[in-house]
Amino acid sequence: MPQLTVSDSSRAGSLQEVAADVLILPLLRGADDSPATVSGMPSVTEAIAAMDLSADRGEIHRLPSAVSAPDAVQAGSLLLVGVGAESLDEVEAEDLRLAFGAATRSLTGVATAAVALPGGAPEQLTAAIEGAALGAYAFIAHKSEAGSPKAALAEITVVAEDPAAAQSAIDRAAVLADVVGLTRDLVNTPPNLLYPAEMARRAQEAVASLPIEVTVLDEAQLAEGGYGGIAGVGQGSTRPPRLVRLEYAPASAKSSVSLVGKGITFDTGGISLKPAAGMDDMTSDMTGAATVLGAIVGAARLELPVKVVTYLALAENMPGGNAQRPGDVVTMRNGTTVEVLNTDAEGRMVMADALVDAAADEPDLLMDVATLTGAAMVALGKRTAAVMGTEEARDEVLAAADASGEPFWPLPFPAELRKELTGRVADLRNIAASRWGGALSAGIFLSEFVGDVSWAHIDIAGPSFSDAPLGYMGKGATGMSVRTVLEVLEARAR
C-alpha cells in the first residue's frame, strides 16, 4: 500500500513547490462547451485551453509540467483527471474516489505522486484521498522479472490547506487501503497456492500483531462437531476444509457484531460440474471470507469499541472420488437435514453451518458476505451488490453503503418462495424447486440458520471480481463491500 503524507498548501506557491514525480489535479468541464478548467490554477487552465481535454469522470491526461504549468511546477508532470462536472460543488464523494483512484491506478511504475483538490471541501478531499489510496494497488506477486512487473505507486503526498484535518483523513484512508488490499491480495492469489488450510494460516498471520483471538477447526473437528455443510462440501478435495473463528473484543465495546464469510477457495461445482469457460474466475469464490477478514482487521486497527466475531467458512469444492453426490443428505450444525440436489449450490451449505455458530453468539447484528449466486448478477449486474435479511439490518447496511459510496440494492424475501425449499426426504433442499428468484431463495435458505438475530445477507457475486477496470478498482479482485462492512462497524462505534 502507498505511504501517505501531508503537505501544507495554505501559503501561496505551495502547489508549485511540491516535488513529486506527478501532481494530480481535478479537471472540470468548461461552461457552455468552453475548454476544461483546473480549479484554483488559472495558469494551468490557460495553458491547456487549446488542448480540447475531456473532463468526463475518470478521463486522464498526463502532461509534461513544462507545457501545462507555466508557473514552474516542480513536479515532473501533471496528471489531470476529469471529475465530470463544471464545478467541484456538483461532484459527489464517490465520483472523486473513482476519479482519483483512476489517476493513481494509471501510475504503476511511478514512485511518487501528489494529490491536490484546490477549492474542494474537506469531505471532498477525504474522498479524493481514499480513492487515490485505493487506486494505488497492483498484484505482481507472481510476475517474474521477465514479465516486467510494475509496482503500484509507492508514495502519495496530500496537499491540503488544513494539514491536521487531512492527516486524520490520511490515517483512516491508510487503514482502508490496507484492508481492501489484504482482501484483494487473497482473492487474486491463484487457487493452487490458496487452499483452506493456507487461507487459515494467512488469516492468523494477518491478525498476529492485533488483539484478535483465533480458533481454527480442522476436518476432524468439523466432522465431530456436526458441521455437515462444510465437511460435505470439502470432502471431494484432497485439501480439507477449515472453519476459522476470529474474535476482537475490546473492553470498551458498545455493541457486538458477528460476520460470516463464504470461503470456497476454488469452486469447480463438484459433481454438478461448471462449464470450463470462465471457471478460472472461481478463484474468487472465497471473496466473502476475505472481506470479513479485512473488516475485522480494520476494526482492530481503528480500535473501534465494538466486539466483532468473524467466521471464515473455508472449503474447496472438487469432484473427487469422495465428493458429495446430488441426492445426498447431510445434517447441518443445528441438526437440520438438507438434500444436496446440486453440488454447485455449495456456498449456502458452508455458510449455514457458520451462521449457526455466529447466531449462537447472540450478537446485536449478524452480517454474512458471499459470492453466492449468479442470479444476483442477473438481477443487478456486475457492479451492484444485493442485500437481504431483516429490515432493520438491511437498512443499516444500505446506510453504510451510501456513506462509503459502494452500490448496494435491497432484495425481498417473498413468502411463497419458502415452500420451494422444502425437501422430499429431508427438512430442506439446497436449491429451490424452480429456477426463479435464485438469489432470493438462496437467502431464504440461509435465513433458516440465523434464528431471531438481526441479520443482513450480502451477495457480492457480481462486483467482487471484474474483467474491466473502473476508478480505484482494476481487473480481478475489487475489494468491493469491505468498506461498507467496516462502515457498519464504525457507525456502531460512533
Judge whether 419 counts as a catalytic residue. no
* Residue (of 478, 450, 318) closest to 393 by Cα position: 450
For cell 483452506, what's the residue? 196
Give catalytic status of residue 429 as yes or no.
no
Q: Which of 62, 201, 274, 382 is catalytic?
A: 274
Per-residue pLDDT of the chain (494 residues; tens, 9 = 90+): 889 999 876 665 678 888 899 999 999 999 887 889 988 788 888 888 889 899 999 999 999 876 666 666 788 899 999 999 999 999 999 999 999 999 999 999 999 999 999 999 999 999 999 999 999 999 999 988 776 788 999 999 999 988 998 999 999 999 999 999 999 999 999 999 999 999 999 999 999 999 999 999 999 999 999 999 999 999 999 999 999 999 999 999 999 999 999 999 999 999 999 999 999 999 999 999 999 999 999 999 999 999 999 999 999 999 999 999 999 999 999 999 999 999 999 999 999 999 999 999 999 999 999 999 999 999 999 999 999 999 999 999 999 999 999 999 999 999 999 999 999 999 999 999 999 999 999 999 999 999 999 999 999 999 999 999 999 999 999 999 999 999 999 999 99
**204 by DSSP, 3-state: which?**
helix
Q: What is the pTM of this model?
A: 0.97
Query: Measured between alpha carbons, how far is residue 29 from residues 24, 48, 52, 70, 367 in Å?
Result: 16, 12, 11, 21, 41
Distance CA 157, CA 169 (A): 13
Q: Which residue among the candidates 348, 394, 429, 492 is catalytic per the annotation?
A: 348
The closest alpha carbon to 283, from 352, 195, 351, 161, belongs to 195
The closest alpha carbon to 298, from 396, 212, 176, belongs to 176
